[in-house]
Every structure is written in structure tokens, then in C-alpha cells.
Amino acid sequence: MIKNIIALAVGIFALSSISLLSAENVFPYKYDVNTLENGLRIITVPMPSNGIVSYYTLVQTGSRDEYEVGKTGFAHFFEHMMFRGTEKYPGTVYDSLIISIGADGNAYTTDDYTAYHLNLANEDLDLVMELESDRFQNLSYPEADFKTESGAVYGEYRKNITDPGNVIWEKLKFTAFDKHTYKHSTIGFEADIKAMPTLYEYSKEFHSRYYRPENCILFIAGDIKTSDILAKAKKYYSSWKRGYVTPKVEIEQAQTAPRSASVSYDGKTNPMLGIGYKTTAFDAKSKSSVARELIGDLAFGSNSELYKKLYLKEQKVQYISPYFPQNRDPFLSIIFTMVNDANDIKYVETEIQKSVDWFQNNLVDKKKLEDLKKRQKYGFLMGLDTPSNLTGGLARTVAITGGIDAIEDYFKTLESLTPQDIQNEAKKMNASQRTVIKLKGTK
């Protein structure tokens, strides 16, 4: 769950370095934050790893930034397109070189950012930085390749909707939001994806607008020296020109009444429920924000009374899955569940609300809360054992805020939470902020 933390922005000065580590800090490694003159931020975490390095390029653009009507899905599209290569290193050449050094590379897109990552040996850093800097600055693709890849994205969309979980997720977001770009899923609206092959010129505009150095972060951990990384970064990335354009994302108006909708799944499935409560944007120093995250575990996690009742004792559900993410903008705290019998949908919905009601009207056991705090800290630290686990676990924090500083704020806030803080936050999960989606199969 710590993967979802976000925080206040980190102030970074051109070619300055910040090194933080003290006995009181939770994060166990020294790290450095530097910024090139063109705005590219570089975060390095030297750590023992027997020559292994994890190399992330984080683009602070996700589906949230797709504000233009009829043009959703392009953040995800470029996750694909970036592997098409450049005139100097076409996609096939890029792939061949990456394979030849035994590197492991991939990418993914979220609502708030896009991540490109590789695991490699430290002796290959020079080649990798040359390849990565080239494709981020000089991506090149003809219209034919663009149409081929956009067609592949539509195929991915069609594959995704064979999963009822994706169908209910898409419907929940669409119903809960009116204006904000969180209304569409990361892959985009189906109609927009189908129309994507006609938007070749727009695709180049999108890339030019968002793939700029001041909107990207190099996040590198492992067997490295910061001075070596900086020297290479200056060599390969300094010519990258500024030009980021801030997206015109509309602010969502306050929800004032409960919402609900039903959706059919074209196939056979057990019925599902998706219940989301509007939340505020995350702030690592806010008790409200951190308490909200803990409610997901306390009220709906595998150790919760609700889980024991509905899953273990009564066997009414296939699972109960809380998803209380941390986002750049106000989002949702969500409970998903799959019901064994369609006749029990209303009963399960009522029991979920009863769990919310209990936390609104009672104080959680202090020992249970303290135990959860310890598990949170332990789980976080255990996720820092390798370079790829560290960068993967902190990618969201770094991408959204530009730094790692949020970790210390988060754990200070976590330690300060009391049962009363949990109750205060639970009281904000009221009916006027709730959206309920019910999914049923058609076969």
C-alpha cells in the first residue's frame, strides 16, 4: 500500500545535490537529487547490489492529463510507441542491443504518470543512457507504424473488457466523475481508441507537449556512483530542449448525492459490486490522508471482521478487495467484491456499509492499530531489498512529487495516528460521496 503514497513537491535547484540520511529516517539509503539546466531531474540511490542497476524514466503524464474531448488514451499509446525507436536506433536495433547486454526492459501507464524501466549491469550504463536519451529526444515513427500500433491498442482494449473487473472499473470511474479526467480509464474511451488511427498529427503534438525534460525524472538505484550518473546524464541529455505544456484539467465539483449504476458483462461471471467514496488528494502530512489508507485495511482487508464474516464464515463472496490509492487529484476509496449468489448482492452491499458505519461510530482497538502501523513500516522496508524493488515500489511517489521526501512525512504522520483519527476519517465516507456499481453477466 505504501506504493501509493504521494507528497509535497521537492524543491530542486539546477545542478545542486541533496543528500539525506540520519538515524531517525525510515528510508535506509542515502540518496541524491540533481537537476540539469534543462529541468531534467535525476534521483540516484546508491546501494549494494553486486553490479545490478535499476533505471527508470518517469514521465509525469498519465491518463489524467488527457483533457481534450475525443483524445483519450494517448499516454498509454506512447507506452507502446516509444519502443518504435528513432532514425539512429530503430526499434529492432534498440531491441537487439538491449537483448545483447542481457537487460530487462518494459513500461507501464497509470492515471498520473508513465514509467519506462530497465534492469541492467552497471558496466552497460553508458550504452543504456545513450539509447534512452535518444528515444526520449528523437522518437520517430511514420504514419503507417502509427496506425499499426493504434490498432494494436484497440486490440488490447478488446482483450481487457473480457475481464469483468475491468468492465466494472471503467463504469465506476465514468459514473463517479463528471468533469475531471479521472472519468476515463488509463487505456481511454473505446470510441477514442477506435478513432486513434486518424490522429497521426495529434500524436506528434501530444509527444512534443509532454515528453520534455522538465516533465521527466531519471530514477536510478543500485551499484552506481552519483557523480558517474551525472556526468553521463549531462553528456546524453543536456541537448534535450524544454517545452512542457501544462494540461488544462478541469476541477471536479463536489458530489452532493449518492450515485449508482448497473453494467452488463458480455459473458459468464459471478455478480460484482464496486463501491467508491470520493476523497481528497493525498498529503503525506495529513492525518486524514494516511488514516484513510489504513481504513482500507482495517475495515475491508483480510484481517477485517467483514472479511471473516462474508468470505470465511458465510462464504457469500469470492473476495473483498479494498483499493484506497493515493492520487495527485481527489479520487476514490474503493471496495470491490465478487458475490457467489446474485440473490445476495443487496445483503453484501448492506454488510459493507455496516462495516463503514461501525468505524464511524466506534474506536478501533488501539493495539490493532499499532500492529497495523508496524506491518506498514515492516512491509515498506522489506520492499527495498533490491534496486528494482526499490525503484518499482517508490515510482509512484517519485513520479507524482518529484522526490522521495514524502516517505519521512508519511511515517511521521502514521506514527501519530490515534483511534480517534481513524474514526474521524471514516465519518467522511458518507452516502453523498458514494458511488455504487453492480455488474452482472449476460450468460
What is the H or E stretch that residue 19 is in?
A: strand 18-20
Closest CA to 29 of 384, 434, 409, 438: 384
Distance CA 265, CA 163 (A): 9
Mean pLDDT across the stretch 227-236?
98
Q: What is the DSSP letter of 239?
A: T
Residue 318 has pLDDT above 70, yes or no: yes
For residue 53, the cross-strand partners are: 120, 222
Residue 433's pLDDT is 96
Question: Per-residue confidence at 20, pLDDT binned at 50, 70, 90?
Answer: very low
Say if CB 44 and CB 31 are below 8 A apart.
Answer: yes
Closest CA to 121 of 56, 43, 54: 54
Closest CA to 359 of 402, 413, 392, 322: 322
Distance CA 42, CA 234 (A): 11
Distance CA 34, CA 96 (A): 31
Distance CA 101, CA 408 (A): 37
Distance CA 60, CA 402 (A): 9
Mean pLDDT across the stretch 211-216?
98
Mean pLDDT across the stretch 33-52?
97
Residue 186's pLDDT is 96
For residue 107, the cross-strand partners are: 116
Mean pLDDT across the stretch 413-417?
97
Residue 6's pLDDT is 27
Mean pLDDT across the stretch 199-228?
97
Residue 10 has pLDDT above 60, yes or no: no
pLDDT digits (tens, 9 = 90+) for 269-302: 999 999 999 999 989 999 999 999 999 999 999 9
Say if CB 43 and CB 33 are below 8 A apart.
Answer: yes
Residue 428's pLDDT is 96
**CA 308-309-310 angle, 5° bins:** 105
Question: Per-residue confidence at 344, pLDDT binned at 50, 70, 90?
Answer: very high
**Which amino acid is present at 366?**
K
Question: Per-residue confidence at 217, pLDDT binned at 50, 70, 90?
Answer: very high
Mean pLDDT across the stretch 376-399?
95
Residue 218's pLDDT is 98
**CA 93-98-104 angle, 5° bins:** 145
Burial 313-339 (b: 16+ CB within 10 A, else e): eeebbeebbbbbbbbbbbbbbbbbbbb
Residue 27 has pLDDT above 60, yes or no: yes
* Cell matching residue 364: 478501533
**HSE value, Cβ hemisphere, 13 Å, CA-based, for 253:** 4
Q: What is the DSSP letter of 312?
A: I
For residue 48, the cross-strand partners are: none
Residue 441's pLDDT is 93
Question: Per-residue confidence at 15, pLDDT binned at 50, 70, 90?
Answer: very low
Phi, psi dihedrals of residue 58, rounded to the nearest 5°: -105, 120
User: What fold, for 259-441?
Assistant: Cytochrome Bc1 Complex; Chain A, domain 1 (3.30.830)
Mean pLDDT across the stretch 314-332?
96
Architecture of domain 2-237: 2-Layer Sandwich (3.30)
Which residues, 6 or more positions from 350, have their beta carbon under 8 angstroms from its beta carbon? none
Mean pLDDT across the stretch 310-319?
97
Residue 391 has pLDDT above 60, yes or no: yes
Beta strands, E only, 266-331: 272-278, 317-323
Mean pLDDT across the stretch 65-84?
96
Mean pLDDT across the stretch 319-332?
95
Percent of the chain with pLDDT over 70: 95
pLDDT digits (tens, 9 = 90+) for 97-154: 999 999 999 999 999 999 999 999 999 999 999 999 999 999 999 999 999 999 999 9
Domain locations in the chain as residue ranges: 2-237, 259-441
Residue 57's pLDDT is 98
Mean pLDDT across the stretch 17-27?
57
Residue 19's pLDDT is 36
Question: Per-residue confidence at 443, pLDDT binned at 50, 70, 90?
Answer: confident
Residue 24 has pLDDT above 90, yes or no: no
Residue 1 has pLDDT above 50, yes or no: no
Residue 255's pLDDT is 96
Average pLDDT, rounded, for the chain: 93
Distance CA 403, CA 394 (A): 9
Say if CB 126 and CB 180 are below 8 A apart.
Answer: no
Q: Residue 100, exposed/middle/buried by CB under 10 A (0-12, 13-18, 19+)?
A: exposed
Question: Per-residue confidence at 426, pLDDT binned at 50, 70, 90?
Answer: very high
Residue 302's pLDDT is 95
Residue 133's pLDDT is 98
Residue 400's pLDDT is 87
Closest CA to 217 of 6, 377, 401, 372: 401
Closest CA to 331 of 157, 169, 168, 189: 169
CB atoms within 10 A of CB 26: 14
* Cell matching residue 53: 542497476
Identical fold for domains 2-237 and 259-441, yes or no, is: yes
